[in-house]
Amino acid sequence: MFAEDREDYVKHFVKTALTTAAALCTAAASWAADYKLDISLDTGPTHIRNESIMKFADELTARSEGKLEVRVFHAASQYKGANVPTALAQGALDMGAPLHQHFSKIIPEAGTVLLPLFYGATPDEIHAVWDGPAGDAMNAMIEKKLRVKVIGRWFDLGYGTVFTTEKQLNVPEDMDGMKMRVPGGAANMQRYSTFGANPVSIPLSDVPQALQRGTVDGIWSTQETVRSAKLWESGIAYGFEDRQAYLQYVPMISLAAWDKYPEDVQTLIVDTWEDMIDDVRSVAMERQLAAREIGAENGVTTIDPAPEDLARMRNKLMAGQAQVVEELGIDPDFVAMVQAELAKLR
């Protein structure tokens, strides 16, 4: 074979190979998942919420046998937590798992989870209330006002804990005059005002910088969130475990996405979530305890306040609950139903 012939042969071979590769890529695209589900989270990939959702995504992908592609976006790479409900309502996002305070302005009743009536309630009591009729009523409001599908029972973050940089808290009143970051939500803002603190709403992604600059003196968060973000590196030195509220995430899919799925995919999503939720809740509780230990290893001293100090503050908070309910525009009949459900358990 002459040199020019060999050159032509090589060119022809390369052209054929590239054409074949392009054809294979086109075929692969045609074999791709029939449906997609993009999930946005504002916490980092090692956070318990992200790990729970990743487990759900992997299981859902496996069970769908390639029919559904699930992608998880971490650390507010798509949306900050407060913007997730709006993105879902507008159909700009497929799925999110926001905390209640992130949509309590749209649905005032969502603030019920943070009212004083739950101050000191156990996780079992909280689960029983929100897994029952009260939760069904809340989910119906969420679905209607946010135009989403709540795919199942809420999953846990855990008790909120007060963390500070320079001042150790021993009683709730020690927060008087302090600038405290709270994760949004009118009920949270009201509660910290009752403590005498100055509540500031700051997105989670901006918290490290706010702590380092002294914009706030402390935050209301969880042991797990402090661990996952290593907030001791931003100045967190003390924790105050007053268990003022128990935080849960609501798994929801935009109706714009949900209505595109056939019935079998919808059923698969709901069933997969239900099969996982009990284990997810159990792991969350274990992670909070482990996170507290890790915090201690990194210099965070956590104080457990005396029961009588918490009882005193709970009574003070409860005395103003009716006013808070009115100011926040929460339906008092809904609060009464929730309070009755909680009373049945005690």
pLDDT, residue 20, reads 40
In this structure, are strands 35-40 and 68-73 parallel, antiparallel, or unpaired? Answer: parallel
Q: What CA–CA distance (Å, rounded) separates 277 from 283?
A: 10
> For the domain that residue 325 is a member of, what is the CATH number?
3.40.190.170
In this model, does residue 262 exceed pLDDT 80? yes
Sign of the CA dihedral 105, 108, 110, 114?
positive
Domain that includes residue 180, residue range: 33-337
Question: Per the structure, how many domains does the chain have?
Answer: 1
Q: Cα 286 to chain center, whole Å? A: 17
In this model, does residue 312 exceed pLDDT 50? yes
Q: What CA–CA distance (Å, rounded) separates 116 from 47?
A: 27
pLDDT digits (tens, 9 = 90+) for 22-44: 433 333 333 468 999 999 998 88
In this model, does residue 62 exceed pLDDT 70? yes
Chain position carrying tokens 């798509």 = 78
pLDDT digits (tens, 9 = 90+) for 120-170: 888 999 999 999 999 999 999 999 999 999 999 999 999 999 999 999 999
Residue 150 lies in a domain: yes
Residue 15 lies in a domain: no
Q: What CA–CA distance (Å, rounded) separates 237 from 168?
A: 8
Residue 18 lies in a domain: no
Residue 124 lies in a domain: yes
Give residue 339's identity as a one-letter amino acid code: Q
Residue 308 lies in a domain: yes
Mean pLDDT of the chain, nearest integer:
88
Q: Which residues pair with 155 in a beta bridge?
A: 249
Residue 24 lies in a domain: no
What are the residues whose beta carbons fall under 8 Å from the beta carbon of 10, sequence distance 6 or more? none
